[in-house]
Structure 1
Amino acid sequence: MTRARLTRGKIVDAAVAVADAGGLAQVSMRNVGRELGVEAMSLYHHVKDKSALLDAMVDWIFTRVELPAPDDGWREGMVRRADSARVVLAAHPWALGLIESRRTPGPALLRHHDAVLGCLRRNGFSVELASHAFSAIDSYVYGFVLTELNLPFGESADDFVEEFTDALPMDDYPHLGELGAAIMAGGYQYGDEYRYGLDLVLDSLADRLTN
């Protein structure tokens, strides 16, 4: 049987599969080659080294995040991108740290950033305010995903909150007890906090834009 031709795209896809299965620490030329059923040396015809492979993985992530549409208003465009980024980053938790650690941006990352800034600038943001907006939105989305991935419970917090509040001396922590009771009464899900928090950020930006 003829083996399928090796390409840079297939190598990056395999590296992502390795990271998804075992974390970023498992990404090596040898492990990626094993994923593809080839010797590690075969990869160097398409990818310079592991550092270049990691850069390509970052670009792979950015190709999957939806960009603002050309006719989007700034808020619509930022919500579109933030929602998409949340889904992509949650599906590939290793990407959170990797994105911020690389110093050689690829074409997808550059196109992504330019499109986001373009959406803001077309809709009245100054260069300075667009920079602040980009930073604030990314900080919120990245931080939310990181918290969401590391919570000690699943989608519903009810069982965890009940156990947690039962163990607390309520006289010492009355406000925690009050919050716990409200969560238990309302079927709390942490994911529901996402849109509320994003709206807080966007509302503040809207206020800055008009003042």
Structure 2
Amino acid sequence: MPAGTRTPLSRERIVDAAIALADDKGVEGLTMRALGRALGVEAMSLYHHVPNRDDVLDGVVDRIYAEFYAPVVGGDWKDELRRRSHSARAVIRRHPWVIPLMNARSTPGLSTLAHLDAVIGVLRSAGFSLPMTAHAFALVDAHLYGFLAQEVSLPISPGQGVQEIADGIAETTDMAEHFPHLAELVAGHALQPGYDFGDEFEYGLELVLEGLERDLRTDEGGQ
């Protein structure tokens, strides 16, 4: 492309810019005017490619779903769901602002639909009945998104933050005297070398999968 030639505007380019803008400013900063500035065009130019902001958000969510690992129908269902959950967590941690949007769009895109279909297919091919498939999908996603919502909002990171919070509490009260159970957990676990709250994700996921495996055995013969 000759020097000085602008890349043509397209819906794909708009979605790319929207994700970058939200990564920088949060979803509340993702306005059509700000998006136009990021692309070097007037906001009105965007409407030749997208009808409104909702369509941009639909495209953003669909692009995020496209980054998730798509579980393989017919594969070991626990391995496939485990890999999918870890992949989704890694993607969303790069774009934490998207959590409230993931299941809130009323016009899902093709990548979203393909991903949902793959997860359902994995469960059905493993022998889950339709009701159990719905239960399993809801439970796996409740763990995924619930944990992520907590993880990305915590004021701590591996090796950082816990001591500062504990010190702040100690300035106002004697934690060991007034909150002995909390003090025990903080001192005996959270402040120990190598502590990472993120490790709780794996523990919870395995509990979910083990519980579903148990229920699958009792659900045999379902439709």
Distance 1:64 1:168, change over 3 A: farther
1:194 aligns with 2:198: no
Structure having the larger proportion of residues in helix: 1
Q: CA deviation at 1:48?
A: 1.1
Distance 1:113 1:168, change over 3 A: farther
Moved more, 66-75 or 47-56: 66-75
Query: Which residue in 1 is equivalent to 2:114?
Result: 111
1:179 aligns with 2:185: yes
Match of 2:155, SS state, is coil
Moved more, 176-185 or 164-173: 164-173
- Preserved contact between residue 65 and residue 84 of structure 1 (Cα < 8 Å): yes
**Runs of 4+ in structure 1 over 4 Å off:** 164-167
Q: CA deviation at 1:187?
A: 3.4
Distance 1:69 1:160, change over 3 A: farther
Match of 2:103, SS state, is helix
Q: Which runs of 5+ in 1 are unaligned?
A: none
- Percent of pairs identical after alignment? 43
- Provide TM-score, normalisation by structure 2: 0.88
Query: How many pairs were matched up?
Result: 211
1:135 aligns with 2:150: no
Q: Which runs of 5+ in 2 are unaligned?
A: 219-223
Name the structure, 1 or 2, with higher relative contact order (CA <8 Å, separation 6+): 2
Q: CA deviation at 1:176?
A: 1.6
Counterpart CA distance in 2 for 1:69 and 1:182 is 41
Q: CA deviation at 1:165?
A: 6.8
Query: Which residue in 2 is equivalent to 1:170?
Result: 176
Counterpart CA distance in 2 for 1:23 and 1:158 is 26
The counterpart of 1:209, out of the listed 194, 210, 216, is 216
- Preserved contact between residue 165 and residue 180 of structure 1 (Cα < 8 Å): no
The counterpart of 1:89, out of the listed 92, 105, 108, is 92
Match of 1:66, SS state, is coil
The counterpart of 1:60, out of the listed 38, 45, 63, is 63
- Preserved contact between residue 18 and residue 60 of structure 2 (Cα < 8 Å): yes
Give, as a single letter, the amino acid of the residue that structure 2 aligns with 1:206. E
Give, as a single letter, the amino acid of the residue that structure 2 aligns with 1:163. D
Counterpart CA distance in 1 for 2:164 and 2:80 is 36
- Provide TM-score, normalisation by structure 1: 0.93
Counterpart CA distance in 2 for 1:34 and 1:196 is 44
1:74 aligns with 2:77: yes
Distance 1:144 1:26, change over 3 A: same
Match of 1:94, SS state, is helix
Q: CA deviation at 1:131?
A: 0.8
